[in-house]
Amino acid sequence: MEMSKKQKVNIGDTVYFVVEHYYHIQDKAGAQMEYLPVEGTVVEFVVGGYKEAKIRSVIDGGVKLFFLKVSDYGKRFYPSREEALAAAIRAADSYDHTWSEITHEKIRRPWEVEAQ
């Protein structure tokens, strides 16, 4: 879905975005990465060189704050989970295209597990 120029984000809105999430597998060296679509709530706007949305989200049982440029609404954070999921799929496909020849593994896609 293409965002129109008139759509904007407001304090209190629920938004969705993709994060690089790191996890560990027992008996495997180093952290593993996955792209995770997450839900958050816009709690305030911060103005510096540009306007950022301060987004509160709960990941791995803890509260995390993210700061995303308001101008990236519809590009890096979205009004629907489906749009964030599409962005996570694109990121995972790009990662696999770049690294799977070396690692011989594909990146974990948690949304596929959720759908089962």
Domain boundaries, the chain: 14-21+32-105
Whole-number pLDDT of residue 73: 95
At a CB cut-off of 8 Å and minimum separation 6, what does 10 contact?
Answer: 42
Do residues 83 and 100 touch, judged by C-beta distance below 8 A? no
Q: What is the pTM of this model?
A: 0.84
Q: Name the average pLDDT for the chain.
A: 89
At a CB cut-off of 8 Å and minimum separation 6, what does 49 contact?
Answer: none
pLDDT band at residue 4 using 50, 70 and 90 as cut-offs? very low
- Give yes or no for residue 5 having a pLDDT over 60: no
Q: Say how far apart CA 18 and CA 85 lie, in whole Å.
A: 8
Average pLDDT for residues 63-76, to the nearest whole number? 95
User: pLDDT per residue over 12-56, tens digit each?
Assistant: 999 999 999 998 888 888 888 999 999 999 999 999 888 999 999
Q: Say how far apart CA 51 and CA 72 lie, in whole Å.
A: 10
C-alpha 66, offset from chain centre: 10
